[in-house]
Chain A
Amino acid sequence: MTALLRITPQLLTLAALMAMVTLFFPGFLKIEFVDGRLVGPVMDILKRGAPVGLLAVGMTLVIATRGIDLSVGTVVAITGAVTAWAITNGYGLGGALVLALAAGAVAGIWNGCLVAIAGIQPIVATLILMTSGRGIAQLVTEGRILTFSHDGLAFFGSGDLLGIPVPALIWLATAIGVTLLMRRTALGLLVEAVGVNRAASALAGVNATVLLIAVYVASGLCAALAGIIATADIRGADANNAGLWLELDAILAVVIGGNSLLGGRFSIAAALLGALIIQTIDTGILLAGFPSEYNLVIKAALVLVILVLQSPNLAGHWYALRRTFGRQPAATTATAKGAKQ
Chain B
Amino acid sequence: MKSLMMTVAVLALGATASMAQTVGFSQIGSESGWRAAETTLTKQQAEERGIDLKFSDAQQKQENQIAAIRSFIAQGVDAILLAPVVATGWDSVLQEAHEAEIPVVLLDRSVDSDKALYLTAVGSDLVHEGAVAGQWLVDTVAGNDCRVVELQGTTGSSPAIDRKAGFESAIEGHDNIEIVRSQTGDFTRAQGKEVMESFLQAENGGKDICALYAHNDDMAVGAIQAIKEAGLKPGEDILVVSIDAVPDIFQAMAAGEANATVELTPNMAGPAFDALKAYMEDGAEPAKFIQTESKLYTQADDPAGEYERRKDLGY
Listed in ascending order, the chain A residues whose CB lies under 8 Å from chain B are: 25, 27, 34-35, 39-41, 44, 48, 143-145, 147, 158, 230, 233-236, 238, 240-242, 283, 286-287, 289, 291-293, 295
Contact = CB atoms under 8 A, between A and B. Distances in A.
Contacts of A144: 33, 36, 314-315
A56 B261 CA distance: 39
B180 to A, nearest CB: 9
A283 B33 contact: no
Contacts, number: 74
Nearest to A44: B197
A234 B182 contact: no
Contacts of B281: none
B36 A44 contact: no
Closest 7 CB pairs of A and B: A286-B198, A292-B184, A234-B189, A241-B188, A292-B155, A292-B183, A41-B201
A143 B32 CA distance: 7
Contact of B195 (A241, A286, A291): A286
Nearest to B189: A234
A238 B189 contact: yes
Contact of B194 (A34, A48, A295): A48
Contacts of B186: 241
A27 B156 CA distance: 30
A156 B273 CA distance: 49
Interface string B219-245: 001100100011100000000000000
A147 B182 CA distance: 27
B181 interface: yes
A242 B201 contact: no
Contacts of B184: 292, 295
Given A34-B231, A39-B230, A234-B225, 11 more contacts: A41-B198, A143-B30, A144-B33, A144-B314, A145-B189, A145-B248, A233-B193, A241-B188, A286-B198, A291-B182, A293-B156
Contact of A143 (B36, B194, B195, B231): B36
A230 B190 contact: yes
A81 to B, nearest CB: 14
A279 B19 CA distance: 63
Nearest to A235: B225
A287 B36 contact: no
A41 B221 CA distance: 22
Interface of B: 30, 32-33, 36, 152, 155-156, 181-184, 186, 188-191, 193-195, 197-199, 201-202, 205, 218, 221-222, 225, 229-231, 248, 314-315
Contact of B225 (A143, A158, A241, A289): A158
Main secondary structure, interface of A, reads: mixed
B193 A234 contact: yes
Contact of B198 (A39, A241, A283, A292): A283
A143 B190 CA distance: 17
Contact of A242 (B190, B195, B197, B205): B190
Contacts of A286: 183, 194-195, 198-199
A238 B198 contact: no
Given A48-B194, A145-B218, A286-B183, A158 B229 contact: yes
13 contacts: A41-B198, A48-B194, A143-B33, A145-B33, A145-B248, A230-B190, A234-B190, A236-B189, A241-B191, A289-B183, A289-B202, A292-B152, A292-B182
User: By CB atoms of chain B within 10 A, which of A144, A147, A292 has the most?
Assistant: A292
Contacts of B152: 292
Nearest to A294: B155
